[in-house]
Amino acid sequence: MKLIVAVIQDKDQARLLDALTEAGFRATKLASTGGFLREGNTTLLIGVEDDRVDHALQIIRRTCKAREQLVTPLSPMGGPADAYIPFPVEVIVGGATVFVLNVERFEKF
Ligand code: 2BA
């Protein structure tokens, strides 16, 4: 068994959960925050049998879109704040950031 940990954008979570449920996967949704943007995103925990991992990844790939986002970086640590002129930069936020972990043991009581 594997545990898929997928960090996705909030905008994609409803579509992804619908598609996963429809295909017979089970998932847990966690509210998370990206370390860089400090904005809300969604982390899904999806426990799957080994032979279904690729199918789950296919659904994630199909459902989650990369988007451009404008970010104004925080002032640099230790630098003179008055000399810092913040200007927005564009970053491309996933798709999905996906980790596939081996599950040593799975129990359900
Ligand atoms: P954030 O950390 O808020 O990052 C959002 C986007 O900002 C990233 O998109 C990337 O395009 C950019 N970014 C992140 N760190 C950067 C840096 N040090 N310098 C320049 N640009 C940077 P994604 O790569 O698609 O990541 C989306 C979200 O997935 C991340 O949100 C974070 O919550 C999670 N994530 C990405 N890589 C991860 C990792 N190795 N471990 C844990 N979580 C990760």
Burial group, residue 109, by CB count within 10 angstroms (0-12, 13-18, 19+): exposed
CATH number where 55 lies: 3.30.70.120
Number of domains in the chain: 1
Domain limits for position 98: 2-65+94-102
Within a domain: 108? no
Whether 37 lines ligand 1, by a CB cut-off of 6 Å, is: yes
| pTM strictly above 0.85 | yes
**Residue 75: how many other CB atoms lie within 10 Å:** 13
Within a domain: 19? yes
Distance 92 CA to ligand 1 centre (A): 9
Within a domain: 56? yes
Within a domain: 80? no
User: For residue 89, what pLDDT is reported?
Assistant: 87
The sign of the torsion formed by the CA atoms of 93, 21, 48, 56 equals: negative
Distance 74 CA to ligand 1 centre (A): 16
Q: How far is 5 from 65, CA to CA, in rounded Å?
A: 17
**pLDDT tens digit string along 22-70?**
999 999 999 999 998 899 999 999 999 999 999 999 999 999 999 998 8
User: For residue 18, what pLDDT is reported?
Assistant: 98
Within a domain: 28? yes
Distance 27 CA to ligand 1 centre (A): 22
Within a domain: 27? yes
